[in-house]
Structure 1
């Protein structure tokens, strides 16, 4: 089973994919760039291809924008890409709970993946995203 998901950005860190969702303009690409500055690799910006591989949902670059990430007000940057199993979905929302008890889940190709909502307007968003991967992401 395979699907192309639009309006999401995805990066790989330590062999695990973080799929970033949220409305247009909320900062998905900016978070991906900040995570890339912390060692992550781009999988896809503004879209990702998901494939079921055994029990895993694996994220790969979408063919139409492979290797391109938008830097708002600057242009498109060409970077190497990766592929990795999706370990967590990070939903950027201004309604994120300050101190949630646990995490929610997202259904990807019939498989439940942890979902953590993050408030987007903070200079520490990449640190929070990385902590969410370590605390709630699938191994």
Structure 2
């Protein structure tokens, strides 16, 4: 089965694994992406992400006309090299803030595929925690 769509989201890649940051305008998607870029992630898309489903894999990429840039609020549009499409390995829901110290495993559905999902964490360690999660996973 194949399907496709467009989502208001910013996507970065770490070691070929996509991290899709979704949420309303002003929720901090680009700010979190900048933090992840500073830790070695690569930009896939900023603001708009195209999704494509092939069987049980959802792939994220930038629209064809997307600028090679990321918005840094109150700084401007910053140049950034865009990387190729990546399979989505983790979704961060920036519209929901985490309140549990050890949250349960959550998923969200993209194009009919369940993907691991974290809620926004309003602490400075969040970008580093995401990098550790995407590289090494999480205990059950």
TM over 0.5, shorter chain: yes
Flag the 1:109–1:80 CA change in 2: closer, same or farther, 3 A.
same
- Give unmatched runs, 5+ long, in structure 2: none
TM-aligned CA deviation for residue 66 of structure 1:
3.9
Residue in structure 2 matched with residue 19 of structure 1 by the alignment: 20
TM-aligned CA deviation for residue 10 of structure 1:
0.6
Residue in structure 1 matched with residue 63 of structure 2 by the alignment: 62
Flag the 1:108–1:36 CA change in 2: closer, same or farther, 3 A.
same
Residue in structure 1 matched with residue 5 of structure 2 by the alignment: 3
Residue in structure 1 matched with residue 117 of structure 2 by the alignment: 115
Residue in structure 1 matched with residue 30 of structure 2 by the alignment: 29
Give the total of aligned pairs. 134
- 1:13-42 deviation line (CA, Å, top 9, x unaligned): 011000012232221111111111111111
| Deviation >6 Å, runs of 4+ | none
Q: State the TM-score, normalized to the length of structure 1.
A: 0.85
Mapping for residues 27-106 of structure 1, pairs under 5 Å: 27-82=28-83, 83-93=85-95, 95-106=97-108
Task: Measure, in 2, the Cα distance between the counterparts of 1:52 and 1:92.
Answer: 23
Flag the 1:118–1:87 CA change in 2: closer, same or farther, 3 A.
same
- Give unmatched runs, 5+ long, in structure 1: none
- Superposition RMSD on alpha carbons, in Å? 1.8
- 1:87-128 deviation line (CA, Å, top 9, x unaligned): 010122563133234321111111110111132x32222112
CA contact (8 A) 1:18 1:87 kept: yes
